[in-house]
Structure 1
């Protein structure tokens, strides 16, 4: 059995991961750590897990002492908070997956610019593998430290990868318009996330400043072998979970939608969790699953391609993808414990 633990277990991503690891046939949860709920039974916080996960949350201090006994450590923490845990895990030969943002950007200068934080462990930053299995599977299998991708970057990168990799679009023309459910903002108390503030409304936020922008640009730059600068605008919509990413780019040559759909089908032909569909993707058809649905349209008037992707931000955008990465790291079947069908209605 793989001995695992989660730091930051009581946030939405941490809770989702806890449920997945509890059901995983090859995993034993050694401990759950929470800064805010030390000594509290986990199921008191999340009643859906009563009689499944009733153990008490431990403190950060206790967690540091027990890391050395693990096979893998997960962190689901705010920016800057996973660094010390990652350092201790790697020093003790424990595999480490950070669901947060602390190891996603390869440049410490870029990390400082977008997160206004100094990265203390650049040696770890240099060795971290970006955990998007559809693009980095072979590296993930050999990795000790995984930077689990952000939710918006997962949906957007998977949507644009075939176009950028095959030089189909002008990379200077990329615009991403994405929308997320409120769980993407985390479980912290915030007036902006209250029901009355969110319900019956939609709003853009982080316009031209959202921290996932450099992450998406980094991914697409690697695929295209040249610098990609794009426009990314996220929106908050009144639903619990899900991301819909609508991506635009100018075609270099004229192509029709069927040609591009065939390109996508070929690019992702071996990917279990990417579904290339004829219909326009909807978040309701991926809710509660690790799937990413993608479809392509072409606006012939403007010679512009429009790619739409849908994921569950807590699954393929966070906890589900973390388990997918763990399965690869330990040589397990990739879809173990995350092969569930989407929840509907």
Structure 2
């Protein structure tokens, strides 16, 4: 582990041609303690990164390589911005070379291998590595992340739901009815990844709004597993994701019924106190309405707490950029902790408006 924040580390990226990959490149290219040394792609072997992503011209001067050429074993940390199933097949080899791993897919998110196999339709290749991995939601697992060798970077939807509910469930609190919590979540099209798919074609996604995964979504068991850890007991959750006609951004509206004995709770104060020292979680003033554009291209997540008409229904609004705090920014935040860097290093970008 790097002992001084001034030390530089060598960083590799496996599968850097997707949206999370280019976000990692954007963030890491401006990181004060990082040397980008390798990025892999079989199809684009030999192509300069800036030829695929012109926004990185003059910032990233390396080329894509096949995994065999990339010398990932010489890196201090390797990010996997790959489809599910890739990281777990390469993890053991890299760990033997003392390389730390941050996986942006689902290989190390779910500790229950049977649940993983049910939702991802593949056997888990390294359950022993999985058992020692850490779920990389910094605001919940900061100390464990700092000591981890393998990080399962959280999914984008789970980040909003877990941070939106954690203050209500931590420390054995009995504030809301945990048998029936509803998370109504919306994401921009980039959440589907950089691939050819009819549902994300411009003429299909533009000027349109729809729910999907209502019968079951892969992020549901991830959210449920983590909520149970937070609450210390199973939590009943209805999770419905939606696709909205924008490129990036995520907005979750969470509904929870306040228990009779908790009616006098100051929920605004509860959230403000919980996240008072969290640089990337902004609890907005009472009555606020966060917008996705207020976090666009930044690592910030904004929360507003509402209690309509002073009734027993609590409404929590959460906005984030699905590619930054929901993916690559969170991964860099994890890396900073793992190597003793300031947690905000490389992540201080202000949101883009308009």
TM over 0.5: yes
- Are 2:89 and 1:84 equivalent residues in the alignment? yes
Indicate conservation of the 8 Å contact 2:79/2:102, yes or no: yes
Instruction: Indicate the residue corresponding to 1:298 in structure 2.
Output: 307
Tell me, what secondary structure is at the counterpart of 1:125?
Answer: helix
Give the drift of 1:301.
Answer: 7.7
Cα 1:297–1:199 change in 2 (3 A) is same
Indicate conservation of the 8 Å contact 1:132/1:148, yes or no: yes
Indicate conservation of the 8 Å contact 1:151/1:313, yes or no: yes
Match of 2:49 among 36, 42, 52: 42
Tell me, what secondary structure is at the counterpart of 2:223?
Answer: helix
Match of 1:62 among 52, 58, 69: 69
Tell me, what secondary structure is at the counterpart of 1:123?
Answer: helix
Tell me, what secondary structure is at the counterpart of 2:179?
Answer: helix
Instruction: Indicate the residue corresponding to 2:31 in structure 1.
Output: 24
- Distance across 2 between alignment mates of 1:35 and 1:227: 43
- Distance across 2 between alignment mates of 1:56 and 1:68: 17
Instruction: Indicate the residue corresponding to 1:100 in structure 2.
Output: 105
Give the drift of 1:228.
Answer: 1.8
Give the drift of 1:114.
Answer: 1.2
Instruction: Indicate the residue corresponding to 1:33 in structure 2.
Output: 40
Match of 2:16 among 6, 9, 12: 9
> What runs of 5+ residues in structure 2 fail to find an aligned partner?
1-7
1:113-133 CA-partner distances (Å, limit 9, x unpaired):
111111010001101100111
Structure 1 residue ranges (4+ consecutive) displaced by more than 6 angstroms after TM superposition: none
Tell me, what secondary structure is at the counterpart of 2:302?
Answer: strand
Cα 1:237–1:91 change in 2 (3 A) is same
- Are 2:129 and 1:124 equivalent residues in the alignment? yes
- Distance across 1 between alignment mates of 2:216 and 2:86: 21
- Distance across 1 between alignment mates of 2:229 and 2:265: 26
Instruction: Indicate the residue corresponding to 1:331 in structure 2.
Output: 340
Instruction: Indicate the residue corresponding to 1:233 in structure 2.
Output: 240
Give the drift of 1:85.
Answer: 2.2
- Distance across 2 between alignment mates of 1:49 and 1:172: 47
- Distance across 2 between alignment mates of 1:72 and 1:210: 30
TM-score, normalised relative to structure 2: 0.94
Instruction: Indicate the residue corresponding to 1:259 in structure 2.
Output: 266
Indicate conservation of the 8 Å contact 1:257/1:296, yes or no: no
Indicate conservation of the 8 Å contact 2:175/2:261, yes or no: no
Provide the aligned C-alpha RMSD in A: 1.4
Instruction: Indicate the residue corresponding to 2:148 in structure 1.
Output: 143
Give the drift of 1:254.
Answer: 6.2
- Are 2:187 and 1:187 equivalent residues in the alignment? no
Give the drift of 1:173.
Answer: 1.0
> What runs of 5+ residues in structure 1 fail to find an aligned partner?
none
Give the drift of 1:262.
Answer: 0.3
Cα 1:247–1:265 change in 2 (3 A) is same
- Distance across 2 between alignment mates of 1:100 and 1:260: 33
- Distance across 1 between alignment mates of 2:169 and 2:255: 12
